Amino acid sequence: MQRLAVIGGGVSGVCLAHLVQEQYDITLFEAQDYLGGNNCSIEVEGGSRVPMGVIIYPARELFEHTQAFADKFGLQRKPAHLAHIFCSNDEVRYRSYSGSGHFLRDIKDVAYLNYGFKAETESHDRKLGDLVAGNKLSKEFVDYVLAPFAALYLSVPYAAIFELPLSTVAGWWNKYCHPFHLMSSFNYIDGGNHQLIDRFAENTRMKIRLNTAVSKVSRSDGQVLLQLDNDEERFDKLVFATRPDEALAMLDSPTATENQLLGNIETNTLTSTLHRQPYGCLDGDITLNMYGDDRASTHMVTTWGNRKCFGMDLPEEIYTSLHQVDKEPVDDSDILAQRTFKVPVQMASTWRVSDRLDELNSDSDAIYYCGSYFCPSYYHEDGIDSAMSLAG
């Protein structure tokens, strides 16, 4: 049986290993001390595991493979009506269940999102500001609702949303949030997203090597050599299921295609913090708070209560905040756990990469790639789709 190395223990890596375990002797390498990548959970006092982020997906059947694997492993899926509260410098601007208080303006904005926004999926040369200039949407709705909501779920800095082609924002909105009420209707895996990662690992024959960073990858006579500290191991094939920039840094002699594609994906660094005090979180609901005096300086902090939003069995509410690394919203004494992640950003250079994954893998010579970074939306489902496509 051929030996296969998988670098990266996120959802793409463990899913790929699960799918090909009958064909290969698999060793999975993960630099961190846990599996799951961005989908990690922290054990808090009392033994409960609280996710640093939550796998949520629209109520419609868009995340079919995530749901199928959850069903296969006997995980319970639950519906949730997640209220979103939008604030600017701690002032409430909009609530998803009650609007902004400007009834007629809200009706006009919602009507356009439900019936007119679809036409913008071909607007490659226009931006969000053009909707305001054309009197399609109110400036307040764009600044305080659409832009922060898109920034959160597309993992884009607030100011950068206004620089994206309108076709990108409209395409995402119409796929995941249309009609307007679906921005509050989701499903989630009961008990936390770590359970899906755990089930993949428990149901896969593979050697898992945590705390094991691969420093160099070299092609050698149709096989692959991995440099691990002072040791070297040889495999018949290798799958990179990690960030493209990390893969490029490991490659000893990358091909022209690898150099071109792996170095062209932009990332955004986010910190996830668990804490006990609500800070800017209102009523335990998902609260998107924008801080800054102008668009360029604005940064976002998104906070939710895990017991309120996801029914977690906790003796007291524990909040999760997502924020920029240098914009810490939580007092050090209140931090229960903290992780910093790099996430892909929706930019023109990254779209080109998502269209060329097959080309990258056909130029592989025993090295292959999968992961949400190589997919258009970069969601958890995309990572699973990528692994399934590579596994065949």
Confidence of residue 40 (pLDDT cuts 50, 70, 90): confident
Provide the pLDDT for residue 346.
65
- Listed ranges 110-124, 150-164, 208-222; the one with the highest mean pLDDT: 208-222
Q: How far apart are CA 379 and CA 359, in angstroms?
A: 21
Q: How far is the CA of 233 from the CAs of 10, 16, 23, 214, 256, in angstroms?
A: 22, 21, 20, 10, 25
- On the 0-12 / 13-18 / 19+ scale of CB atoms within 10 A, 309 is buried
Say if pTM beats, i.e. exceeds, 0.85: yes
For 21-33, what is each residue's pLDDT tens digit? 999 999 999 999 9
Give yes or no for residue 103 having a pLDDT over 80. no
For 67-89, what is each residue's pLDDT tens digit? 999 999 999 988 888 889 999 99
Confidence of residue 349 (pLDDT cuts 50, 70, 90): low
Provide the pLDDT for residue 353.
67
What is the average pLDDT value for the chain, to the nearest integer? 89
Q: How far apart are CA 362 and CA 364, in angstroms?
A: 5
Give yes or no for residue 99 having a pLDDT over 70. no
Residue (of 348, 391, 392, 346) closest to 373 by Cα position: 346
User: Six-digit token pair at 115?
Assistant: 């019936």
| Percent of the chain scoring above 90 in pLDDT | 56
Residue (of 15, 72, 64) closest to 372 by Cα position: 15
In this structure, are residues 4 and 13 in contact, taking their beta carbons and an 8 Å threshold? no
Q: How far apart are CA 78 and CA 75, in angstroms?
A: 10
Number of residues that this document lists for the chain: 392
| Angle (CA) 333 336 341, round 5° | 115
Give yes or no for residue 216 having a pLDDT over 90. yes
Residue span(s) of the chain under CATH 3.90.660 come to 79-188+267-344
Give yes or no for residue 272 having a pLDDT over 70. yes
Pick the CATH number of 2-77+190-265+347-391 from 3.30.70.1520, 3.50.50.60, 3.40.50.720, 3.30.390.30: 3.50.50.60
Residue span(s) of the chain under CATH 3.50.50.60 come to 2-77+190-265+347-391
In this structure, are residues 367 and 381 in contact, taking their beta carbons and an 8 Å threshold? no
Say which CATH topology domain 79-188+267-344 has.
Polyamine Oxidase; Chain A, domain 2 (3.90.660)
